Amino acid sequence: MLVTQEPHLADDERRSELRENLADVTARIAAACAAAGRPASEVSLVAVTKTFPVSDIRLLSELGLTDVGENRDQEAAPKAAQAAALGLPLTWHFVGQLQVNKAASVASYADVVHSVDRLRLITALGRRAVAGGRELCCLIQVDLETDEADEAGEAGQADESPQAGRNPARGGARPGEVAGLADAIEAEPGLWLGGVMAVAPLGAPARPAFRRLREIAGAVRARHPRATTISAGMSGDLEDAIAEGATLVRIGTALLGGRRAFVR
């Protein structure tokens, strides 16, 4: 005979699991900040909930977490609508690569877009934000896998084509393009520049890449003083990111567990 748990019992078990994971992640952040000589209050935690249900988002909200990140619009949009219907007080972060044809949808629910990396996307997001009476915080995603020779050859060319100026697999603008994109975001109605974001390169030490991101962030901040966000660090490398100045970490596995298959 198949035995099923009562919904409230399943909720209690999952809440306990999430509470423990949240405490562990919070302790890691605090320890990393202490090692870097920074107050823990300087670092915000975004729960990346891709493939996990809205019930988990509700439980995390009840545990005091307010920032949620998603990387696919087809999953994020209905989740945001369901969370809104539940009255959850959340800030929504879109953290994945974003196609221009998804800008209208993302601009309708996201509060922060982490993956801005080309001019066409800036224009599309701005237009949709204005149409919806919203203002979006935008972070420039920086491609930290670009080598120095490529950067020197392409500096200053913020191409409008979807793949130009970024790693095709992971996204991001070349470091030499960041200043121009920053100016474009600040000039676009409906948008404001929050700072920068990056993912550590695959198969290479994270710390040097995050150090480079910190330098890029400093140059952006010198020109645009309110662009103070450095979104860097995930479950496996948050300590390296915090050591190099991250102000926001995007945590999935360490908080929610192994990924589940997403079913539309």
Residue 193 counted as domain residue: yes
Residue 96 counted as domain residue: yes
| pLDDT tens track for 108-153 | 999 999 999 999 999 999 999 999 999 999 999 999 986 543 554 4
pLDDT of residue 171: 85
pLDDT of residue 85: 98
CATH number at residue 45: 3.20.20.10
pLDDT of residue 9: 55
Residue 13 counted as domain residue: yes
Residue 70 counted as domain residue: yes
What are the angstrom distances between the C-alpha of 123 and each of 99, 105, 183, 224? 12, 14, 12, 19
Q: Could you identify the residue written with the tokens 């298959």?
A: 261
pLDDT of residue 152: 47
Residue 238 counted as domain residue: yes
pLDDT of residue 11: 87
Residue 151 counted as domain residue: yes
pTM value?
A: 0.89
Residue 263 counted as domain residue: no
pLDDT of residue 29: 98
Q: How many Å apart are CA 239 and CA 246, to the nearest integer?
A: 9
Q: How many structural domains is the chain composed of?
A: 1
Locate the DSSP E strands across 87-169: 91-94, 112-116, 136-141
pLDDT of residue 260: 61
Contact indicator for 207, 240 with CB cutoff of 8 Å: yes
State which residues form the domain around 238.
7-256
Residue 200 counted as domain residue: yes
Phi, psi of 87 (to 5 degrees): 75, 25
| pLDDT tens track for 5-27 | 445 557 899 999 999 999 999 99
Burial of 112 (0-12, 13-18, 19+ CB in 10 A): buried
Q: Can you list the residues of the chain whose pLDDT is less than 70?
A: 1-9, 146-169, 259-264
pLDDT of residue 174: 96
